[in-house]
């Protein structure tokens, strides 16, 4: 294997503090099933942000043997924390209105681990007050609600008191 081919197949593990790299065998040297599993996993990860469990399920649906699927995930050395972070960011982008607590619960529902969900929620750049405002708007559209009841409702949705108070204040200003 020449140096160009080696660098093409080097994958950073992301776990070391230095720039150490692990050399992976070229796809051409793998058996057909392993290469297919790797390519299919890459295709899914290019379009979706999936937990390890979800990705293994998707590969199973594609009739990829579980051993080949596991090999593909090891070969790709996927950073599941980053996949969880990207999924969390995607959820918040859709203007659904997630508190940190609800977002973490959603990620756990999506089969990310507790650690991955915690990482995601603490490493995304989200304005939680804006997220609370989205939920506040829904409560206000449902009928007449006092500022205090709105704050309580937002806190019950998992927002902090500060987030709930600011969102409530902004929402009432916008409704006038």
**Per-residue H/E/C for the chain:** CCHHHHHHCEEECCCCCCCCEEECCCHHHCCHHHHHHHHHHHHHHHHCCCCHHHHHHHHHHCCCCHHHHHHHHHHHCCCHHHHHHHHHHHHHHCCCCCCHHHHHHHHHHCCCCHHHHHHHHHCCCCCHHHHHHHHHHHHHHCCCCCHHHHHHHHHHCCCCHHHHHHHHHHHHHHHC
Residue 13 pLDDT greater than 70, yes or no: no
pTM: 0.79
What does the pLDDT look like over 152-171, one tens digit per residue? 999 999 999 999 999 999 98
pLDDT reported for residue 1: 37
What does the pLDDT look like over 85-99, one tens digit per residue? 999 999 999 888 999
* Domain spans of the chain, in order of start: 7-78, 81-122, 128-175
């Amino acid at each position: 294997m020449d140096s160009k081919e080696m660098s093409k197949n080097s994958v950073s593990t992301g776990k070391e503090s230095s720039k150490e790299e692990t050399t992976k065998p070229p796809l051409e040297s793998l058996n057909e099933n392993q290469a297919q599993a790797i390519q299919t996993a890459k295709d899914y990860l290019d379009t979706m942000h999936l937990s390890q469990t979800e990705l293994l399920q998707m590969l199973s649906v594609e009739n990829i043997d579980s051993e080949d699927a596991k090999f593909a995930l090891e070969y790709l050395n996927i950073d599941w924390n980053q996949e969880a972070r990207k999924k969390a960011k995607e959820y918040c982008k859709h203007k659904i209105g997630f508190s940190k607590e609800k977002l973490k619960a959603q990620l756990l529902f999506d089969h990310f681990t507790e650690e991955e969900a915690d990482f995601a929620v603490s490493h995304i750049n989200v304005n939680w007050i804006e997220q609370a405002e989205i939920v506040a708007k829904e409560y206000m559209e449902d009928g007449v609600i006092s500022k205090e009841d709105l704050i309580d409702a937002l806190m019950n949705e998992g927002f902090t008191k500060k987030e709930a108070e600011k969102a409530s204040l902004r929402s009432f200003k916008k409704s006038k």
